[in-house]
């Protein structure tokens, strides 16, 4: 495997130690706000100059540029066998990974409806639609959310032949489907889909406040056309969740942005705008919140969640600024727009019952300075399946790709990175996931990337995965 080295300029740059940005809650409040730079050095030049590309311990192998009918924003990715299914606001693309270093575009499916968050399980593919459409077809057009007959929800496809997917059913859900996560039953016969959506309005007939619910759709795996809505549980029945804080640009809870399931352990972690939650999903149609955490100093928008392999930790991401803010310039404290790492600890409550509780350990943010024009904030990633280690590869929009080790949850450390300077990509990388020896990334503007991480990091990783849905974790 290749071992790229830093250029002489990068060796002498101001790269901050990743261990130095793993901060405890004992830091004083004066360091944590959304303040302007404390000194001129905070507004330093970017580590990767505009128009250039740099990396450490990771090699960029190939890029499949956006083309054809799918000119929208590139979004999430799912994997099955030798195929990658890459979402796009205009539909999805199927890539053949027979040569994993040079993926080949095998199929495009035009079916507009942002975000087209995508998952696959057995012969089922699920797409999320979170934009009001004229109907549920792939020929739909935009329609104002104020109109009662507008449609949003999930679309279910039969991919028994991955190169001839068949659209078999739609299910409308309240406030649409920004993202979704799969939770199969233990016997694999039924697939439950946890649909996350948010931002209700009194002017939206199908998305009324307070919207403290998720939608749950049941899909019989052998009969996906029989998919139906089976539950809309309220996850915040007592207080409606966090009320928000405009002074910090911190969002109130009005639904969830993303949920990650871990069926083996009957657990799910939810990133719900103003709250992070842990759920017991033993009864798939009736999840129960067992732990809730809030970070009222630093987190602004709880965006996504990733368990470690033994479900003893959760990494939550904070999408401060909604993905459009440049939080990696030195103007924002290193725990803003970052990951929050939490241990899952067993506790005994009154009455003698054991339960699980989320306990904060540290923050992780990429240690590079970006240009002020580069949107940079924590986004989607996945575990690298190395036993005995907690390793993650992750997208940071125009901050690039970061590989880090959080085995010591109080001291995460960056191991590898790839960064395109300002002007190379219009939006940066949305999602980066590790699958059978390589990392694959969907860039908002320039297409589908393939990376090789140095063997010193992933040389012992499991490389016979049959599938990967990052929001439906499986033990490796």
Cβ count within 10 A of residue 118? 26
Q: What is the dihedral of CA 50, 53, 57, 58, to 10 degrees?
A: 130
Whether residue 315 contacts residue 406, with contact meaning beta carbons closer than 8 Å, is answered with: yes
Is the whole model's pTM more than 0.85, yes or no? yes
In 3D space, the residue among 84, 51, 197 whose CA is nearest the CA of residue 442 turns out to be 84
pLDDT along the chain (476 residues), means of 10: 29 28 27 37 80 98 97 97 98 98 98 97 98 98 96 98 98 98 97 97 96 98 98 96 96 97 98 98 98 97 98 98 95 96 90 89 98 97 98 98 98 98 96 98 97 98 97 97
Structural Rg of the chain based on CA atoms: 21
pLDDT at residue 44, rounded to an integer: 77
Determine phi and psi for 117, rounding to 5 degrees. Answer: -55, 140
pLDDT at residue 46, rounded to an integer: 96
In 3D space, the residue among 81, 225, 54 whose CA is nearest the CA of residue 155 turns out to be 225
- The CA distance from 200 to 273, in Å, is 13
pLDDT at residue 464, rounded to an integer: 96
pLDDT at residue 218, rounded to an integer: 98
pLDDT at residue 391, rounded to an integer: 98
pLDDT at residue 275, rounded to an integer: 98
Beta bridge partners of 314: 307, 342
pLDDT at residue 352, rounded to an integer: 72
In 3D space, the residue among 276, 238, 240, 283 whose CA is nearest the CA of residue 260 turns out to be 276
| Local structure of 363: helix, strand or coil | strand
* CA angle in degrees (0–180, nearest 5) for 469-459-412: 70
Whether residue 424 contacts residue 434, with contact meaning beta carbons closer than 8 Å, is answered with: no
Whether residue 21 contacts residue 335, with contact meaning beta carbons closer than 8 Å, is answered with: yes
pLDDT at residue 353, rounded to an integer: 82
Determine phi and psi for 165, rounding to 5 degrees. Answer: -65, 140
- The CA distance from 14 to 90, in Å, is 40
- The CA distance from 343 to 348, in Å, is 16
């Amino acid at each position: 495997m290749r071992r790229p080295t830093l250029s002489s300029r990068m060796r002498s740059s101001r790269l901050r130690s990743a261990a130095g940005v793993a901060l405890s809650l004992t830091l004083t409040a004066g360091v944590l706000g959304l303040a302007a730079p404390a000194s001129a050095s905070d507004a330093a030049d970017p580590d990767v100059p505009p128009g250039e590309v740099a990396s450490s311990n990771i090699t960029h192998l190939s890029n499949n540029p956006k083309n054809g009918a799918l000119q929208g924003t590139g979004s999430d990715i799912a994997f099955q066998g030798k195929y990658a299914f890459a979402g796009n606001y205009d539909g999805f693309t199927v890539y053949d990974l027979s040569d994993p270093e040079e993926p080949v575009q095998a199929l495009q499916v035009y079916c507009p409806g942002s975000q087209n968050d995508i998952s696959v399980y057995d012969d089922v593919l699920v797409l999320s639609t979170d934009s009001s459409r004229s109907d549920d077809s792939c020929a739909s057009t935009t329609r104002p959310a104020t109109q009662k007959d507008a449609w949003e929800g999930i679309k279910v496809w039969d991919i028994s032949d991955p190169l001839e997917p068949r659209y078999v059913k739609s299910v409308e859900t309240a406030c649409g489907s920004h993202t979704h996560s799969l939770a199969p039953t233990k016997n694999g016969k039924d697939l439950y889909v946890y649909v996350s959506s948010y931002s209700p309005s009194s002017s939206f007939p199908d998305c009324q406040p307070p919207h403290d619910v998720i939608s749950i759709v049941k899909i019989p795996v052998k009969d996906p056309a029989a998919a139906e809505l089976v539950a809309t549980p309220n996850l915040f029945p007592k207080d409606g969740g966090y009320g928000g804080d405009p002074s910090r640009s911190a969002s109130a809870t009005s639904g969830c942005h993303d949920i990650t399931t871990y069926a083996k352990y009957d657990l799910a972690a939810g990133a719900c705008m103003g709250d992070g939650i842990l759920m017991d999903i033993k009864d798939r149609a009736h999840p129960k919140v067992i732990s809730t955490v809030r970070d009222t100093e630093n987190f602004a928008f709880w965006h996504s969640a990733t368990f470690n392999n033994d479900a003893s930790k959760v990494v939550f991401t904070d999408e401060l600024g909604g993905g459009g803010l440049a939080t990696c310039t030195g103007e924002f404290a290193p725990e803003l727009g970052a990951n929050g790492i939490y241990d899952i600890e067993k506790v005994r409550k009154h009455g003698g019952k054991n339960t699980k509780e989320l306990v904060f350990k540290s923050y992780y943010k990429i240690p590079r300075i970006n240009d002020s024009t580069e949107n940079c904030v924590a986004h989607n990633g996945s575990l690298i399946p190395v036993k005995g280690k907690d390793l993650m590869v992750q997208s940071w929009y125009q901050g690039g790709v970061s590989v880090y080790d959080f085995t010591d949850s109080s001291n995460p450390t960056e191991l590898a990175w790839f960064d395109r300077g300002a002007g190379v990509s219009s939006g940066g990388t949305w999602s980066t996931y590790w699958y059978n020896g390589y990392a694959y990334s969907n860039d908002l503007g320039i297409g589908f990337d393939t990376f090789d991480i140095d063997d010193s990091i992933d040389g012992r990783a499991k490389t016979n995965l049959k599938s990967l849905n990052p929001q439906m974790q499986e033990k490796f």
